[in-house]
Chains A and B, each alone.
Chain A
Amino acid sequence: MSTALLAAALQQTATPGLPGAGIARVDAARAAARAALAQQSALVDARAEPWRYTSLRALEAQALPLASAADDAKVVELPPALGPRLVFIDGHYAPRHSQLADLPVGVNFKPLSALRAEDWQVHAALLQFVGGGSDALEPLNLALASAGVLLDVQPGVVVDAPIEVIYFGVFANPCAWHARSRVLLGEGARVILLERQLGPGAGLATLHTEYHVHADARLDLVQMQEAGAALSLLRTSTLMLAARATLRMHALDLGAALTRHALGVRLRGTQARAELRHVVALDRRQHADLQMDLRHEVGETSSDVRCRAVAAARSRAVLQGAITIAAGADGSDAALSTHNLLLSDQAEIDARPVMEIHADEVRAAHGASVGQLDATMLFYLRARGLPEAEARALLTAAHCRAVLDDIVHADLRTAAMQALDARIQSLR
């Protein structure tokens, strides 16, 4: 017996016209994914530790249809583009909203649906299970992905303008769509990548992305999740960093009904550095679960993780953050902090930073706090005339802004701060 969601998904694997259909290796991979899917009885193993905090029961009970291709002529309000952009509407590539005109030389950036047989061959990893496919999530995503991008940046190429990938949901009736992406930065390349979820669309979206940052390359990644209030978003991001590679990632979880993000970071080369900033602002019954797994696999690597969660009403934020310093990864440096605000006594924040150290000569620091707004600050602002609600919103935003300050691209930083401020103002 499989769940309604899974049974529907299995039937959907017969959907014609998925990206790469007709290309032998793609068809074969999909068939394998379909077979793996058929083995499963539920989307995830609800009893497994990583799913302890997030229940998908309500979701599994819905036989969600696969999102049909949106009308590309449909007018959707998108924020102004800061650089090249690929837009997907309800999980389908929307060329009229995309912008690829000024793509720099040495940057291969295209939607899955535009990949040619050679692309699928070179980037065969798009057709493999990253996490080993132990639950139904990965096969589901692989079998049904209609959206997603390939971003392949040649060694030494530096792109100044942010490259954008936007997933916009318009469908009012709950439906499902899936996206699968691969991002590759060649040696010494530098890219700013913005991934953004927008629009009122409801239902289920799954997103799998693998990022490879090669030696001496730098990826500035901003994930702005402002999805519709009735969307469940299940996301996997796996980032691999080679020697002297740098990742600076800002993830904002502001929208959706439920999000669950499995974020894996592997520091694989010496002097690789990962800076992660995570901001969550929730209200109503929103639920956001971040499962972070950051591994220092070799020595002389560094990481700095800072999380800020704000939970109002009956919302719940979960941060399960593990940093592992593997045996032999001597001389590594890891810092993990989470500072969180509870804005209601019915809200919940479960922050569990964990550090596992198997190496020598490491520096490791971690701290966690959950509190309320500072009464003295609140009084100071009100004594100058700010209404209480406004004073609270300002302080709440300030709490989160502290980890957005270091977004390098100024316009992107402004956009992130604006999205945050708007969200905080609307918290109920």
Chain B
Amino acid sequence: MLKIENLHVRVAGKEILKGLSLQVNAGEVHAIMGPNGAGKSTLGNVLAGREGYEVTAGSVLFEGRDLLVLEPEERAAAGVFLAFQYPVEIAGVNNTYFLRAALNAQRKARGETELDSMQFLKLVREKLKVLELPDALLHRGVNESFSGGEKKRNEIFQMALLEPRLAILDETDSGLDIDALRQVAAGVNAQRAPSRAFIVITHYQRLLDHIRPDQVHVLAEGRIIASGGVELAEKLEAEGYAGVPQEAQA
């Protein structure tokens, strides 16, 4: 589904990703861990198509297509979803309006019929239940005055609504209380499917107790320096990044 080869990315004139390679197949969940500033969010942003990230070498294929030539909205319509590490507050843009516009824009781009407001609301109710988000949040501006945890849950709610093919969750577990963590994990697990893949960026092994990954990678200094199973995450939790054996590299 996703094939990243030797990716080099510069941000503000500084090389952040330095030859990153990663392959994610349909149906898989990959966890990416790594120290602060290693380039994890950079990877997510590059995949989602954020401006200001200059790819100087390497390639990214998504379902056989060159992902890097697409606009952010084209990537979204193709099925790429990024749950932001810091979801943005947009006062004055109604949450419900935004979600429906986004969903319908994606459907339109894929040549599917758009949902009318009745169909959309029915879908929203269904998905809200899983995340146990209060209805009231729908009537506010996008993320406006949401608590930190509500913002994170809202990202997963959006994911559930948009049903992407590849979801990249950037520290969606950070700042969540135990219940919220469980809800977020339930939201993700409900979406797991043979046709869908996840890249879960996290600092905590705790999340991986709820969302069992197929592979765990360590991203450091702009590269994947180690890959393994859940036991790698457990080892990191116990020993920190200093002890990562280079030979474990995939």
List chain A positions with a Cβ less than 8 A from chain B.
Answer: 375-377, 379-388, 390-391, 394-395, 397-399, 401-402
Among B17-25, B96-104, B183-191, B242-250, the one that faces the other chain is B96-104
User: Could you tell me the distance between the alpha carbons of A384 and B102 in the complex, rounded to whole angstroms?
Assistant: 6
Q: Which residues on the B side are within 8 Å of A397 (C-beta)? A: 92
Residue B82 lies at the interface, judged by CB distance under 8 Å to chain A:
yes
Interface string of B129-155 (1 = CB under 8 A from A): 000000000000110000000000000
Is there contact, CB below 8 Å, between B88 and A376? yes
Do residues B90 and A385 form an inter-chain contact, with CB atoms below 8 A? no
In the bound assembly, the distance between CA atoms of A259 and B111 in angstroms comes to 44
**A14 and B106 alpha carbons, distance in the complex (Å):** 63
Q: Within the complex, what minimum Cβ distance (angstroms) separates A140 from chain B? A: 40
Q: Taking the nearest CB of chain A, how far is it from the CB of B35, in angstroms?
A: 24
The answer to the question of B87 belonging to the interface, with a C-beta cut-off of 8 Å to chain A, is: yes
- How far, in Å, is B208 (CB) from chain A's closest CB? 25
State A252–B141 Cα separation when bound (angstroms): 22
Contacting pair A398 B76 (CB below 8 A): no
Q: Are A398 and B141 in contact (CB under 8 A)?
A: yes
Min CB–CB distance B160 → chain A (angstroms): 13
Which B residues are in CB contact (< 8 Å) with A394? 93, 98, 101
The 0/1 profile, CB within 8 Å of A marked 1, for residues 42-63 of chain B is 0000001111000000000000
Determine which residue in A380, A384, A385, A387 has the highest number of CB atoms from chain B within 10 A of its CB, and name it: A385
Cross-chain pairs A/B with CB under 8 angstroms, 26 sampled: A376-B88, A377-B90, A379-B51, A380-B90, A381-B90, A381-B93, A381-B98, A381-B102, A382-B73, A383-B49, A384-B76, A384-B98, A384-B162, A385-B73, A385-B76, A385-B105, A387-B73, A387-B105, A388-B73, A390-B101, A390-B105, A394-B98, A395-B93, A397-B92, A398-B90, A401-B92
Q: Mark B70-92, 1 if CB is under 8 A from A, else 0.
A: 01110111000110100110111
**Residues of chain B with a CB closer than 8 A to A381's CB:** 90, 93, 98, 102
Contact call B91/A383, Cβ cutoff below 8 A: no
Q: Are B71 and A388 in contact (CB under 8 A)?
A: yes
Contacts of A399 in B (CB 8 A): 92
* Min C-beta distance of A321 to chain B, whole Å: 22
In the complex, besides A386-B98, A398-B141, 8 extra interface pairs with C-beta distance below 8 angstroms are A382-B72, A384-B99, A385-B105, A385-B162, A386-B105, A388-B71, A398-B92, A398-B93
| CA A395 to CA B105, docked complex, whole Å | 16
- Which residues of chain A have C-beta atoms less than 8 A from B87's C-beta? 380
Binding site for A on B (CB under 8 A): 48-51, 71-73, 75-77, 81-82, 84, 87-88, 90-93, 98-99, 101-103, 105-106, 109, 141-142, 158, 162
- What residues of A have a CB within 8 angstroms of the CB of B162 in the complex? 384-385
CA A390 to CA B102, docked complex, whole Å: 10
Structural contact, B88 and A402, CB atoms closer than 8 A: no
Q: How far is the CB of A161 from chain B (nearest CB, A)?
A: 26
- B103 close to A385 (CB less than 8 A): yes
For residue B73, which residues in chain A have a CB less than 8 angstroms away from its CB? Answer: 382-383, 385-388, 391
What A residues does B93 contact at CB under 8 A?
Answer: 381, 394-395, 398
CA A184 – CA B103 in complex, angstroms? Answer: 50
* Bound form: Cα–Cα A386–B93 in Å: 13
Question: Closest CB of chain A to B84's CB: distance in Å?
Answer: 7
Query: A382 and B90 in contact (CB under 8 A), knowing A390-B101, A398-B141?
Result: no
The 9 closest A-B pairs by CB, nearest first: A398-B92, A385-B76, A385-B106, A382-B72, A384-B102, A380-B88, A401-B92, A385-B102, A385-B105
Give complex CA distance A398, B101 in Å: 15
Chain B residues near A402: list those with CB within 8 A. Answer: 91-92
- Cβ-defined contact, B77 with A385, below 8 A: yes
Looking at the complex, which one of B72, B98, B101 makes contact with A383 (CB distance below 8 Å)? B72
Complex: chain A residue closest to B77, CB-CB? A385
Would you give the shortest CB distance from B166 to chain A, in whole angstroms?
Answer: 13
Q: How far is the CA of A398 from the CA of B158 in the complex (A)?
A: 20
CA distance A153 to B109 in the complex (A): 55
- Given the contacts A377-B88, A402-B91, A385 and B98 also touching, CB distance less than 8 Å: no
- Complex formed: what's the CA distance from A220 to B96 in Å? 29
The distance from the CB of B104 to the nearest CB of chain A, in whole angstroms, is 9
User: Which residues of chain A are within 8 angstroms of B77 by Cβ–Cβ distance?
Assistant: 385
Collect the chain A residues with CB atoms within 8 Å of residue B81's CB: 383
Docked Cα-Cα span, A382 to B50, in Å, equals 9
- In this complex, what residue of B is CB-closest to A375? B51
Q: How far is the CB of A419 from chain B (nearest CB, A)?
A: 16
A390 to B142, CA, bound (A): 15
Separation of A302 and B82 alpha carbons in the complex (Å): 47
Residue of B51, B102, B162 ringed by the most chain A CB atoms within 10 A: B102
Q: Once the chains bind, are A379 and B91 in contact (CB under 8 Å)? A: no
Closest to B82 in A: A383
By the criterion CB–CB under 8 Å, are B88 and A385 in contact?
Answer: no
Q: Are B48 and A383 in contact (CB under 8 A)?
A: yes
* Chain A residues within an 8 Å CB radius of B101: 386, 390, 394
- How many angstroms between the C-alpha atoms of A379 and B87 in the bound complex? 11
Q: Which residues of A contact B76 (CB under 8 A)?
A: 382-385
Closest chain-B Cβ to A110's Cβ sits at a distance in Å of 39
A388 partner residues in chain B, CB cutoff 8 A: 71, 73
